[in-house]
Amino acid sequence: MKKLTSKKISLNQKRYESNFTYVDINKEIDLKVLSDTPIYRRNPDMLVPWYLMTSYLYYKMDESVISDEEYDWICKELDKKWDEVEHQHKHFVDRDALSAGTGFQLRKYPARVEFAAKQLLDDCKDI
């Protein structure tokens, strides 16, 4: 992965709000900070796939792509933001497991999560 130098740019971007209307946003973004910040720290909805992917890798493949501390943070943050997080695989997540900081109880993973987790592992090995 190419590292970006710290450079600020101004963007006029559009994003979806939960009611599916466009909202214009004018903001300045530091590209280096953005590239060094995991997507799940910028977008709470991404906590679900990252929880599932990292759980799959750790408990099914005996591989880890993030630290135990980062995994614990994902669990705590997902539990804290549970009511606002929207994701199609949210129903696979057990809130009791989040508070315990584990994904051990997961027995079945969506095929998409399995594929994405394996791809993530390959990408991490290439770095």
Domain range for 27: 1-37
Contacts of 55 (CB under 8 A, 6+ apart): 103, 104, 106, 109
Does residue 75 contact residue 101 with C-beta atoms inside 8 Å? Answer: yes
Spatial distance between the Cα atoms of 98 and 105, rounded to a whole number of angstroms: 10
Helix axes 47-60, 68-80, angle to 10 degrees: 140
Residues facing 9 on adjacent strands? 29
Structure confidence by residue, pLDDT tens digits, 31-76: 444 457 889 999 999 999 999 999 999 999 999 999 999 999 999 9
Same domain, 76 and 108: yes
Same domain, 104 and 65: yes
Q: Whole-model pTM?
A: 0.72
Structure confidence by residue, pLDDT tens digits, 71-121: 999 999 999 999 999 999 999 999 999 999 999 999 999 999 999 999 999
Same domain, 20 and 44: no
Secondary structure E strands in the chain: 8-16, 22-30
Same domain, 51 and 65: yes
